[in-house]
Structures are given as C-alpha cells and as structure tokens.
Structure 1
Amino acid sequence: MKQIYLLLFFMGTFGLAAQQTDAVAGSGEARIRLHPNPATANVVYIESDSAAPKTVRVYDLFGKVVLERRLSGDALAIDLLVPGVYMVRVEQKGRYATKKLVVR
C-alpha cells in the first residue's frame, strides 16, 4: 500500500513539474487537429491554423522519440510505427501542441 502511495506521489509531482516547465517557457499553445485517430492506415493528417512548416515528434509511452519529421503539408507517414499508443508533439512558429495518437 505504501508503494502505491509513493508511486502516485511521484507521478503527480512529475506531472506538475512538466506543466510548470511548459508555462515558464511561454511558447504558447498551437491548435492542431490529428486525424484519423485511432489510425488504421499508414498516414495521419495534422491540421493547424497556420500553413507554416511544422516539426512533428512522435514519442512512445516511455518518452523515447520514435519518429521526427519536418512537414510543410498535413500528411505524416506512420508506416514505421507498430500498433500502440503514442504522444505527438507539434511545434509550429514557436508554438506547440501535444496530442495522443492510437495506432492500430
């Protein structure tokens, strides 16, 4: 029981630290739409308010970058990803957004 409380404490502390770090950076938040999600094809589309190029990083649940691309359009090829849950971070014009992506 003690171990569960300790784990929850560390998880909560880590989450708060990550939020504070983002707030201090002051980069702002981009608005994106990620579809289809869950993804069943080899491509997902990342739509944003701006037509500017964007940097896309896909992380596995351990925080490891498994895919990184610089996109000028909306299509991201995900054929190298195995089925699972990922976090997609999009940076565009000094702003960023993070979304969950499920690949089937």
Structure 2
Amino acid sequence: MAKKYFYITFLFCLFSLAGFAQDGKQQGNDALGFYPNPVTNGKIYITSKTSLDKEIIIFDVLGKKVWQTTTSSRELNIASIPPGVYIIKITEGDTTATRKLIVR
C-alpha cells in the first residue's frame, strides 16, 4: 500500500514540476508551446514566435523516450502515440519548453 502512495506522490511531483519547467531563453509566457491539450484528434499545433526548425521529444512518465522528430511545420501528427500521460519537450533555437501532454 505504501508503494502505491509513493508512486502517486512521485507522479504528482513530476507533473507539477514539468508544467512549470522552462529551459533556455524565454521571450514571454507563450513564446513556445502547443495546443490542444488533451489531444483527441492525433494532432498538435505548435505555437512559436519564430519559424525555425523545432525538435520535439516525447517521454512517458517514467522518462523513456517514446517519440522524437524535427520539423519546420506547426502541425504535428502524433496519432501513433497510445493514449496516456506524457512529457513533451519542444526546442527551437535557444528556447526550450517542457510541458505535460495528455493523449486521449
């Protein structure tokens, strides 16, 4: 029973920190992000103030990399990722954003 509470507490802390994690130079609250969240149609749209190539890495809650790509497009098809809770890291130039991603 204690093990179950440990995992719940660990996941809560992980998601709390991931929602606020920011690396690199940030030019505003919405300089780099994505929508919609939760994802229901298998596509996300990346918001950015520039049009540089973006590296996208998606991790599961245990930190295992499940998907990685580089794109110049603002639309990203993630339909191959099974439903669940993930961490998405988007890097564009010197700016990096790390957020929680929910796929339904």
Fold match, TM over 0.5? yes
What is the alpha-carbon distance in structure 2 between the residues aligned to residue 90 and residue 45 of structure 1?
Answer: 12
Equivalent residue of 1:50, what SS? coil
What is the alpha-carbon distance in structure 1 between the residues aligned to residue 74 and residue 99 of structure 2?
Answer: 15
TM-score normalised by length of structure 2 = 0.71
Please list, as runs of the form range in 1=range in 2, the aligned pairs for 1:6-17 lying within 5 A after superposition.
none
What is the alpha-carbon distance in structure 1 between the residues aligned to residue 60 and residue 42 of structure 2?
Answer: 17
TM-score normalised by length of structure 1 = 0.71
| Residues 34 and 99, structure 1, Cα contact 8 Å, conserved in 2 | no
Counterpart of 2:61, as a letter, is: L
- Structure with the larger RCO, 1 or 2 (CA within 8 Å, 6+ apart): 2
| Residues 35 and 44, structure 1, Cα contact 8 Å, conserved in 2 | yes
Which residue of the other structure, out of 24, 28, 31, is the alignment partner of 1:27? 24
Which entry has the higher C-alpha Rg, 1 or 2?
Answer: 1
Equivalent residue of 1:44, what SS? strand
What is the match of residue 93 of structure 1? 93
What is the match of residue 103 of structure 2? 103
CA RMSD of superposed structures (Å): 2.8
Please list every run of 5 or more consecutive structure 1 residues that lacks an aligned counterpart in the other structure.
Answer: none
- In the comparison of the two structures, how many residue pairs are matched? 89
Please list every run of 5 or more consecutive structure 2 residues that lacks an aligned counterpart in the other structure.
Answer: none
